[in-house]
A and B are shown apart, each in its own frame.
Chain A
Amino acid sequence: MPGFVAIKILRALVTLLICVTAVFVVLRLAGDPADMLLPEDTPAEIKAEYRQRWGLEGSIPEQFGRYMVALARGDLGVSFADGRQAAEVVFEAMPNTFLLGLSAILLALMLGLPAGLIAALRHNGTVDRLLMAIAVAGFSIPSFFFAILLILTFSLTLRWLPAAGTDTLWHMILPTLALSAALVGKLARYTRTAMLDVLGQPYMRTAKAKGLRHSAVMLRHALPNAAVPILMFLGIEIGLILTGAAVVETIFAWPGLGRLLVSSAAARDLPVVQGVILLVAFVIVLSNLAVDILHAMLDPRIELIRRNPAT
């Protein structure tokens, strides 16, 4: 177990290091930002000044060294757009995305989990089919289309809820709904599969055979075993949430990381784009690592897989 965890942590660190290097290579080697951003007739000395301010002078290895040292100190450079520290801009947006993502996950758990459980218990019945049809629709609908339907219905036609901004709790409802649709659908389907898997196990038959009440069988034996894959699902789908956030935040004018990324990409504000992307990679690697370790703790068989190279 400790060996397994150590290897996983090492792999996560190497993955992060490659991400950091790849971002540097992609963002710096494709061209000189000073040439791309400043007007063509900019005098050479002003260009040199900008290069110095953006950390662009010197050879590529020199730049890479400075970049790594700065990164270790949490310094992402200066935003091309407004001259503030890029790290400051990124961290300012982070709590908003965290809040929106958390409320979407909570909603997904509140809707998707029961839907999946009911579908599994009514396997192949009408309720099952109906719930699964809704679930498939939930993760097939593009988040931007769903968001626009929500705005059309609840903001423009019924005038119940605001379509943009962050002033009150009411402002959170539509973005949360838009962000969680895909998650609810996937979670419902995943929960159903996990439950069906558990319900087919021999220990379930044993539990029933020894005369336990139906509710006890479900609560004591079925749910805890189905919980492992469901928990892992949330860790794995963190990327889906972050991608969805970019779209939903842009549509609902929610000042989070996603909206920041899209607007800085359009404005070619490279330090900010780089900051958001590194943060996303960091969060995903960390949550994948947490999932792996949690999985190994809950299911000791996992360690065996590592020794079998064919898997």
Chain B
Amino acid sequence: MRMVARAPRPGMPWPIRLAAGFLVAITLVALLAPLIAPYDFATQNLARRLRPPVFWGGEWAHPLGTDNLGRDILSRLIYGIRTSIAVALAGTLIGAVTGTFLGYIAARFRGWLDEAIMMLVDVQAALPAFFIAIACIALIGTEIWIFVVLVSLEGWERYTKLVRGLVLSQMGAGYIRAVEALGAGRLRIDLRHVLPNIAAPLIVQMSITFPWVILLESTLSFLGLGIQPPGTSLGQMLGAGRNYLLQAWWIAVLPGALIFLTTLSMSQFGDWLRDVLDPTLDR
């Protein structure tokens, strides 16, 4: 493996620490949702509907208030985070693996396969994932696994272009010729030598794509085209709360603020990661 001389790593500045801390907290909440949620997220209690959060005249029984059906907002937020993070993580991973694979194939085999894959990249660039997702949802409906696949369309073509370029440039590198001369097979070279050397920009690209996937998921759910009731996600909560802005702002504002903080933390963290790992990658 080739070692690249790097500038000494700067310590994490405090905004990045804050962002990283928030992301860890969100992940823990998503993992432990059934343990920490005070109520079942779908239990309705019409006698206690539209209660405000505790510091706006509410009570401690529902610290963040209740929604139009009397469901506990805190519990719904916790489960909403769980769904949103799970969908976004699955979408990001599927997109990263597919895009990387296609970019690798294009670089390795060149010729018509390369042309075809790059054409696909062009088509994706011409039609944002959001529009493809809407068309498919209009047609097939909103099943969760279809939804995850559609969300994974966000940004796959970036991995393909990135990996294709990286693999092409690595193939001519001296250390690759050296291991080839030592008699290593192609698969061994690619997995043991090329992949570790292109891992850093890939990880950076994933950290950049993740907030986009969250935004796509929450946008579609907000529009009523994503996660369907009785399931819950942050975007869906916000969409439902839109009709109660005047009486109960907290139903929409709290999940919105959570999405905002998550995407903000992730892009701050991603920027920092890029500066540390790979200063040459463009945004």
Interface residues, chain A, with chain B CB atoms under 8 Å away: 11, 14-16, 18-19, 22-23, 26-27, 30-31, 136-137, 139-145, 148-149, 151-152, 156, 189, 193, 239-240, 242-243, 246-247, 250-251, 261-262, 264-266, 268-270, 273-274, 277, 280-281, 284-285, 288, 309-311
Interface centre among A145, A274, A288 (most CB of B within 10 A): A145
Is B263 a contact partner of A247 (Cβ separation < 8 A)? no
Q: Give the distance to chain A from B34, nearest Cβ to Cβ, in Å.
A: 27
Task: Tell me which residues from 123 to 145 in chain B have a Cβ below 8 Å from any Cβ of chain A.
Answer: 123, 125-128, 130-131, 134-140
Q: Give the distance to chain A from B80, nearest Cβ to Cβ, in Å.
A: 14
A254 vs B169: C-alpha distance in the bound complex, in angstroms?
48
Is B260 a contact partner of A142 (Cβ separation < 8 A)? yes
Contacts of B131 in A (CB 8 A): 242-243, 261, 277, 280-281
Interface centre among B136, B223, B225, B283 (most CB of A within 10 A): B223
* B209 close to A (CB within 8 Å): no
Is B125 a contact partner of A148 (Cβ separation < 8 A)? no
A251 vs B168: C-alpha distance in the bound complex, in angstroms?
46
Q: List 25 A-B contacts (CB under 8 A).
A: A30-B139, A137-B264, A140-B260, A141-B264, A142-B256, A143-B219, A144-B219, A145-B238, A145-B259, A148-B245, A148-B253, A149-B256, A152-B249, A152-B253, A239-B128, A243-B128, A265-B137, A266-B225, A270-B139, A277-B134, A277-B135, A280-B131, A284-B127, A310-B168, A310-B169
Is A247 a contact partner of B219 (Cβ separation < 8 A)? yes
Q: Give the distance to chain A from B177, nearest Cβ to Cβ, in Å.
A: 16
Q: Give the distance to chain A from B63, nearest Cβ to Cβ, in Å.
A: 21
Knowing A148-B245, A243-B131, the reply to whether A270 touches B138 (Cβ < 8 A) is: yes
Is B253 a contact partner of A14 (Cβ separation < 8 A)? no
Q: Give the distance to chain B from A150, nearest Cβ to Cβ, in Å.
A: 11
Knowing A247-B222, A266-B224, A268-B139, the reply to whether A277 touches B127 (Cβ < 8 A) is: yes
A81 vs B199: C-alpha distance in the bound complex, in angstroms?
50
Contacts of A309 in B (CB 8 A): 168
* B152 close to A (CB within 8 Å): no
A277 vs B129: C-alpha distance in the bound complex, in angstroms?
11
Contacts of B59 in A (CB 8 A): none
Q: Give the distance to chain B from A134, nearest Cβ to Cβ, in Å.
A: 12
**Size band of the B side of the interface?**
35 or more
Is A273 a contact partner of B268 (Cβ separation < 8 A)? no
Closest partner residue, chain B, to A33 (CB atom): B139
The secondary structure that dominates the B interface is helix
Residue of B168, B219, B249, B253 touching A142 (CB-CB under 8 A): B219
Closest partner residue, chain A, to B263 (CB atom): A140
Contacts of A156 in B (CB 8 A): 245-246
7 other contacts beyond A144-B235, A266-B225, A273-B135, with CB at 8 A cut-off?
A: A22-B123, A30-B140, A136-B264, A242-B128, A247-B219, A277-B135, A310-B172
Is A16 a contact partner of B135 (Cβ separation < 8 A)? no
A152 vs B125: C-alpha distance in the bound complex, in angstroms?
35
Is B264 a contact partner of A243 (Cβ separation < 8 A)? no
Contacts of A277 in B (CB 8 A): 127, 131, 134-135
* B218 close to A (CB within 8 Å): yes
Interface residues, chain B, with chain A CB atoms under 8 Å away: 119, 122-123, 125-128, 130-131, 134-140, 165, 168-169, 172, 211, 215, 218-219, 222-225, 235, 238-239, 242, 245-246, 249, 252-253, 256-257, 259-260, 263-264, 267-268, 271, 283
Contacts of B253 in A (CB 8 A): 148-149, 152
Is B134 a contact partner of A273 (Cβ separation < 8 A)? yes
Is B268 a contact partner of A136 (Cβ separation < 8 A)? yes
Is B127 a contact partner of A19 (Cβ separation < 8 A)? yes
Q: Give the distance to chain B from A21, nearest Cβ to Cβ, in Å.
A: 10
Q: Give the distance to chain A from B228, nearest Cβ to Cβ, in Å.
A: 12
A247 vs B138: C-alpha distance in the bound complex, in angstroms?
16
Contacts of B283 in A (CB 8 A): 189, 193
Knowing A22-B123, A250-B223, A277-B127, the reply to whether A144 touches B134 (Cβ < 8 A) is: no
Is A15 a contact partner of B219 (Cβ separation < 8 A)? no
Contacts of A262 in B (CB 8 A): 134, 223, 225
Interface centre among A18, A240, A309 (most CB of B within 10 A): A18
Is A288 a contact partner of B242 (Cβ separation < 8 A)? no
Is B119 a contact partner of A26 (Cβ separation < 8 A)? no
Knowing A142-B215, A148-B238, the reply to whether A14 touches B126 (Cβ < 8 A) is: no
Contacts of A23 in B (CB 8 A): 135
Closest partner residue, chain B, to A133 (CB atom): B15
Knowing A262-B225, A266-B225, the reply to whether A144 touches B135 (Cβ < 8 A) is: no
Nearest 3 pairs between A and B by C-beta? Answer: A145-B256, A265-B138, A140-B264
Residue of B165, B224, B242 touching A251 (CB-CB under 8 A): B242
Closest partner residue, chain B, to A309 (CB atom): B168
